[in-house]
Structure 1
Amino acid sequence: MDGFNWQGGQAYRPLGGWVERPDDLQPQLDGDVSADVVVAGGGFAGLSTALELAARGAKVIVLEREFAGFGASGRNAGYLAGGQGLEYDLFLKRVGHQQAREIVRFYDEGVDYVERKLAEYAIDCDYNASGIIRAGVHPSQERKLRKSMRTGVQLGSPGEFLDYAAMRARGIPPAFLFGCHVPRGGTLDPGKYVLGLRRAALRAGVKLYENTPVLSWDEGPTVRVRTAKGSASAPFLVLATNAYTPQLGLLRNKVMPLRVSAIETEPLSSAQLASLGWPRREGIVTSHWTMESHRLTARNTLVLTTKRLRYIYGAQTPNVPDEASYRALARALHERFPMLGGVAIRSCWSGYISLAYDALPVVGAAGADRNILYTAGCSGHGVGTQSLMGLLLAERIRGAEHPLLSALHHRTPSTLPEPLQWCAVNSALGVANMMDDRVNRKARYAARS
């Protein structure tokens, strides 16, 4: 397509592009077991919660329906990003300036938390602490980008505007005309990170049961979680299931799963890398209404994500290819990096993020005994936020409320019932796509002029 070797379904990876099934797959739960805390979900949030609890002396069981890292934690783009560039317009007026500052601080602290844990658990995940650039591909995007950056700075998250000359001085590929450099964070291999958390949890004595979907649970002072061949009981249950939580019967009126897709090129040659420039390899996200993300990996491939979002009727999360999204990403690859010629696409994959209508995290407690804790609504920022959530939930379970957890308490807007939800969400996404397509047409015309 457009000069690129698009392989379609031949390149599809149902496990995502970062992980393989572990050689030491943990056994399925068979029988009845008990612990101090049961955690459902073996991603960033679930494993971080288990590790923080184990460090405080708790006996922890983690139930994972596939293998730890199978879901969004092992499928995302690998951006460790802070509070600069959030969807401020969706929540700032609702929560007020002071709470918004604390929410932004939560996002920024997530970056610091992950950096500390990489060192503590000795996880090598190819972390590149280069910061992130939020960029524009056409002059019409500059006003929106500057406004967002100013709001982020006012709320305490640093950022520096880079004009055309500054972008060229940094060696950023020329399709990206201007941008906001966010000094905090950078990019990493999310598969290596989540599998590193998995190894650390096993070393810490966390009991991990894989291939063990949660079927239901019985509320009470002791929560009993039912699985296909047994049960796990504890005074606390943590649902760290993010986009899959509505399918368990909780948060269906608060969050919705959105399908996000990615493509990865074959490794670039030395000549191709030289043609890009990009010496610091900053992760780049665009200021489209539905952003594009572009990053180089440690294996010298290019990974592009998002471009198109999709909501599946009934909050379902089928693990199937999304050919239309892969084609849109392939076109973006060609338009942003024409110097790469006919580079082949190595693989493509899709996964699900969890989004609330205000794009903020959804965290709280359910059940008559308030001992069923949940975290969802990563909204594409899960590497830092859902990792830090492990600390906040662990402290909550041990009887202390972290100030950043308190800062996240707010009234989440209610979602719509079906079929209104499907109609409203996909209509809004369609309008965003049309607006982004208009910008892209302008950028193509300008590039030819």
Structure 2
Amino acid sequence: MTIAGVTYSPHSGWVDPPTEVEPPLAGEFTCDVAVVGGGLAGMAAALRLAERGADVVLVESGYCGWGASSRNAGQLTGAPAGDPQLLSTLHPRRFRGLVRFAESAVGFTEKLIGQLETDCEYEPTGNVGAAVSRGQLRKARRNASILRKAGADAEFADGRDLGLPDAFLGGILERVGGILNPGKFARGVREAVLRSGSRVFERTAVRAVRPTDAGVVVEVPGGRVRAERVVLATNAHSRELAIAPKRLAKPIWVSMAETGPIEPDRLAALGWTSRSGIVTQHNLMQSYRLTGRGTIAFGVRRLQLGSGALGAREPDPAVVADLACGFYDRFPSLRDVALERAWGGWIALTPSWLPVAGEATRNIFYAIGCNGHGLAQAPYLGTLLADRLAGEDLHEDLGAVWRTRPRFVSSPLITAPVLRAGWAVDRMADRLGWGS
């Protein structure tokens, strides 16, 4: 099924690509640290290392901020990814540290926005883990209690008290964080990196990263970089490099869609008075948020597991149609509002659904801060890792996600059949009013 009038974009729907990109790497370079990957984690690492006086080379296969960094929902959230009850059960000793890491990441990113002085339309509205059924309401109440006990600034409340639209019965208010334009934010970080003194090479795909007696060699089609150390900030593309830990993460395609402009009086009639971003309590969440363009952007609902090469792609029209069904179910008064654009991006899901960082082998470090919560966590994680490489002791927040051994076990929950089953269970629960 294809929805008429929708522009299916292979780029971000938030911002146009840069008019000029940096030239690809050609020849041989030496540096203190080479950063592979120009997403938020890689750019933040390069920025901090340059601030601390390191000679940095950053290589990116597209342009910095091309991937999930500029394509996500733009919800700056302070909660760990995954179900709090499950996480607290599986990681009872680490859970409080993971909650602290997630909230600290929001504070760090808010400060970074101020330092960059970039107009990314940030609104500190908080976000709500919302319920659309009585079953989800019970789940939200339970998870709010678990998060509070772990030190989170979270509160369960009725939907009207939270300023939610009528379709949402209540949920967990995460007071920290808010909503922003992630394309403009990524562009602002990119501009800062280009000003930092780091040598940035875009349109440069990395073929291999090899440790040597003298350091590390990063090989690209046009040459190589000889570095003392390397940071792998390759997110969903990590499996494309043999040096990355096996089973570090699986690539998942996430789709987004956006309506055309909606009249202010119709938006006001929805009862969405808080402007908080919304994520549902489904197995595979649905996200909804208001934008500075007077539209509603929404996404997820169905996840697609990547296979083969992860190139640029347009969203699947059938997935966008399914997203539209969910949107109109939640906002029936807007059934006459057409969708205007759709896009998507690759994110990384680690086996634990948690951010991770560590040393893959001597002098080669990795960091993944995504799992659907990377807007705040990725730049914070990249910065903490840069501080570690600069000689600082292991920060307690970095320690919460640090892996002493680069060993990962594939998750049985991150497979195509399980993801399809999760979607099917959610739809059955919607029809029967069970919740998930």
Name the TM-score, length of structure 2 as normaliser.
Answer: 0.93
Give the structure 1 partner of residue 49 of structure 2.
53
- Equivalent pair of 2:264/2:294 in contact (CA under 8 Å): no
Pair 1:242 & 2:232 matched: no
Give the structure 1 partner of residue 170 of structure 2.
178
Give the structure 2 partner of residue 439 of structure 1.
429
Give the structure 1 partner of residue 151 of structure 2.
156
Give the structure 2 partner of residue 129 of structure 1.
124
Give the structure 1 partner of residue 398 of structure 2.
405
| SS, match of residue 364 in structure 1 | strand
Taking a change above 3 Å as real, the CA distance of residues 430 and 277 of structure 1, as seen in their structure-2 partners, is same
Taking a change above 3 Å as real, the CA distance of residues 356 and 84 of structure 1, as seen in their structure-2 partners, is closer
**CA distance in 2: counterparts of 1:436 and 1:309, whole angstroms:** 13
**CA distance in 2: counterparts of 1:18 and 1:359, whole angstroms:** 26
Pair 1:6 & 2:38 matched: no
Alignment of 1:4-403 (within 5 A): 6-7=3-4, 10-83=6-79, 86-97=82-93, 99-163=94-158, 167-220=159-212, 221-249=214-242, 250-313=244-307, 316=310, 319-367=313-361, 370-376=362-368, 378-400=370-392, 401-403=394-396
Give the structure 2 partner of residue 447 of structure 1.
none
Taking a change above 3 Å as real, the CA distance of residues 234 and 424 of structure 1, as seen in their structure-2 partners, is closer
Shifted more, 106-115 versus 406-415: the winner is 406-415
The gaps in structure 1 that reach 5 residues or longer are: 445-449
Q: For this pair of structures, how many residues does the alignment match?
A: 430
**CA distance in 1: counterparts of 2:423 and 2:106, whole angstroms:** 30
| SS, match of residue 36 in structure 1 | strand
The one-letter amino acid of 1:108's match is: E
The one-letter amino acid of 1:371's match is: N
| SS, match of residue 259 in structure 1 | strand
| SS, match of residue 327 in structure 2 | helix
The gaps in structure 2 that reach 5 residues or longer are: none
Give the structure 2 partner of residue 429 of structure 1.
419
Taking a change above 3 Å as real, the CA distance of residues 69 and 354 of structure 1, as seen in their structure-2 partners, is same
| SS, match of residue 168 in structure 1 | coil
Give the structure 1 partner of residue 410 of structure 2.
415
Residue 160 of structure 1: how far off its partner (Å): 1.3
- Equivalent pair of 1:257/1:315 in contact (CA under 8 Å): no
Instruction: Name whichever structure is richer in helix by fraction.
Output: 1
The one-letter amino acid of 2:423's match is: N
Residue 439 of structure 1: how far off its partner (Å): 2.2
Residue 139 of structure 1: how far off its partner (Å): 1.0
Residue 413 of structure 1: how far off its partner (Å): 4.5
- Aligned-residue Cα RMSD (Å) equals 2.2
Residue 393 of structure 1: how far off its partner (Å): 0.9
**CA distance in 1: counterparts of 2:163 and 2:266, whole angstroms:** 14
The one-letter amino acid of 2:400's match is: A
**CA distance in 2: counterparts of 1:317 and 1:24, whole angstroms:** 21
- Equivalent pair of 1:6/1:344 in contact (CA under 8 Å): no
Taking a change above 3 Å as real, the CA distance of residues 222 and 290 of structure 1, as seen in their structure-2 partners, is same
Taking a change above 3 Å as real, the CA distance of residues 208 and 85 of structure 1, as seen in their structure-2 partners, is closer
Taking a change above 3 Å as real, the CA distance of residues 203 and 289 of structure 1, as seen in their structure-2 partners, is same
Shifted more, 250-259 versus 69-78: the winner is 250-259
- Equivalent pair of 2:162/2:173 in contact (CA under 8 Å): no
The one-letter amino acid of 1:429's match is: L
**CA distance in 2: counterparts of 1:282 and 1:375, whole angstroms:** 29
Residue 314 of structure 1: how far off its partner (Å): 5.2
**CA distance in 2: counterparts of 1:16 and 1:193, whole angstroms:** 12
Percent of aligned positions that are identical:
38
Taking a change above 3 Å as real, the CA distance of residues 58 and 311 of structure 1, as seen in their structure-2 partners, is same
| SS, match of residue 429 in structure 1 | helix
| SS, match of residue 345 in structure 2 | strand
Residue 93 of structure 1: how far off its partner (Å): 3.4
Residue 283 of structure 1: how far off its partner (Å): 0.2
**CA distance in 2: counterparts of 1:377 and 1:442, whole angstroms:** 36
Shifted more, 184-193 versus 201-210: the winner is 201-210
- Equivalent pair of 2:38/2:63 in contact (CA under 8 Å): yes
- Equivalent pair of 2:13/2:341 in contact (CA under 8 Å): yes
**CA distance in 2: counterparts of 1:6 and 1:59, whole angstroms:** 49
Residue 363 of structure 1: how far off its partner (Å): 1.0
Residue 148 of structure 1: how far off its partner (Å): 1.4
| SS, match of residue 14 in structure 1 | coil
Name the TM-score, length of structure 1 as normaliser.
Answer: 0.91
**CA distance in 2: counterparts of 1:395 and 1:237, whole angstroms:** 14
**CA distance in 2: counterparts of 1:232 and 1:272, whole angstroms:** 55
**CA distance in 2: counterparts of 1:263 and 1:409, whole angstroms:** 35
Residue 171 of structure 1: how far off its partner (Å): 3.5
**CA distance in 2: counterparts of 1:90 and 1:409, whole angstroms:** 20
Kindly provide the CA deviation profile for residues 241-268 of structure 1, in whole angstroms up to 9, marking residues without a partner as x.
1010011222342211111111011111
Residue 130 of structure 1: how far off its partner (Å): 0.6
Q: After the TM superposition, list the runs of 4 or more consecutive aligned residues in structure 1 that deviate by more than 4 angstroms.
A: 314-318, 410-413
- Equivalent pair of 2:81/2:371 in contact (CA under 8 Å): no
The one-letter amino acid of 1:176's match is: F
The one-letter amino acid of 1:210's match is: E
**CA distance in 2: counterparts of 1:283 and 1:223, whole angstroms:** 43
